[in-house]
Structure 1
Amino acid sequence: MGDTLTTDTAQTALPPAPGADRYRSLEFADTAATLPAGQSYDLLAAPESAMRWLAAHGLTTPDVQLYEVCAQRMRTLRAHVRALFAARVDATTPPEESLHAVNEALTAVPTAPLLAWDGAQGLRRIQAHPTDRAVSHALAALAADAADLLTGPDAGILAACGSAPCDRFLLRTHGRRHWCSTRCGDRARAARAYARRSGAPG
């Protein structure tokens, strides 16, 4: 099926951006990207691919059924997280509706393990994940992760990929480099070299 092929190709073509191993919200923001030659991908485009992404990141179990309305909720939160990341990178005021959406996801379900009692084990902490609220729990975890990134010590190294048209986010690891992948870095260097050659006579 075309959709699955596109998402699988995208996953192998672009490795996770620097910092995605530390912040799931960074990888969540990067589940959609613009590529050269008018290409793009969206790993949350269909309920099946959205489900695979959640399961692969330990945010739900593969047996949970996802519907289009759930995938749409994920895409909506992703757009708001991306807007907050972009505002942080550009040092601009974040959109009020994006702050509201992330706060709504944070407070929709309890993110901390709840206190429970049963006769055999007594008091214990459990992570409540009723099937009908699995996506709400996943979105709450992603919203909390994004809030931690935006307010923590790594907020200052959050960057946008500097190789147009790529629009992925990353954490800068080497000085001023703002590339999300080797491929984007090579493309940016090639573009700079071409600009120097073509502009040298002037």
Structure 2
Amino acid sequence: MERWLALELASTIRHDGEGGVADDLATVRGTAQWIRERGDLPACGVPAGELAVDENLRLGIVELRQAVRTLFARAVSPAPPSPADAHRLMTADRAMAHLNTVAAREPVALQLDWPAEGAPATRLLSAEHDPYVRLLAALARAAVDFLSGPQRARLRSCAAPRCVRYFVKSHGRQEWCKPSCGNRARAARHYRRQRTESEAGSAPS
């Protein structure tokens, strides 16, 4: 399955498995763990496992996530957005301005990398030395790439009960982010149908 860093950032707000919503970036420790688990994050000058995460970096990533989730909500419109934070999103204009500003903080040049025994590829040459700036800019660029690419048209908000995830639709009939959500949605639908039929049968004639 293809990975999208912007989608992974948005998914740091998720269902906690017990009826509530969990935030993987709620603490500095949680944020550091999320970064560590993505050792293949675009180069920010320091290996992910050695990056000293502090509250300022955490807040910067959280604000960027809010911008991304705001623009995800715009992308799935007129369908409803994730209910996790629909009531506290930025305006779309503010989210786009923030995303572009963060992406522009790292001056980069596109470089060609073509090894003798391999295929040509591109890499970014950075003029920025601050690893915090480089990390945030890399996350912002990933979101710009995602939202400007073909996958944006396939972005959906999972409609299963209690789920708050966004996902990229992989086939024409996909309604939920994963099979367990589909099972839960079908069970809820069956329960509602049974209840409606029961109430209709017990109504006075």
CA separation in 1, counterparts of 2:108 and 2:37?
Answer: 19
Instruction: Give per-residue Cα distances to partners, 1:132-190, cap 9 Å, x unaligned.
Output: x2222122122212122212111111000111332111001132323222222221111
Greater mean alpha carbon deviation, residues 99-108 or residues 33-42 = 33-42
2:59 aligns with 72
Name stretches of at least 5 consecutive residues in structure 1 with no aligned partner: 1-18, 116-124
Work out whether residues 107 and 128 of structure 2, in 8 Å CA contact, stay in contact via their aligned partners in 1: no
2:71 aligns with 84
Paired-residue identity, %: 32
Q: Which has the larger radius of gyration?
A: 2
Name stretches of at least 5 consecutive residues in structure 2 with no aligned partner: 80-90, 113-123, 201-205
Letter aligned with residue 92 of structure 2: P
Letter aligned with residue 140 of structure 1: A
RMSD between aligned residues: 2.6
CA separation in 2, counterparts of 1:158 and 1:110?
Answer: 30
TM-score, normalization by structure 2: 0.73
Letter aligned with residue 148 of structure 1: D
CA separation in 2, counterparts of 1:186 and 1:200?
Answer: 21
Shift of the 127–113 alpha-carbon distance from structure 1 to 2, 3 Å rule, reads farther
Q: Which runs of 4+ in 1 moved over 6 A?
A: none
CA separation in 2, counterparts of 1:136 and 1:178?
Answer: 37
TM-score, normalization by structure 1: 0.74
CA separation in 2, counterparts of 1:184 and 1:159?
Answer: 13
Work out whether residues 25 and 146 of structure 1, in 8 Å CA contact, stay in contact via their aligned partners in 2: yes
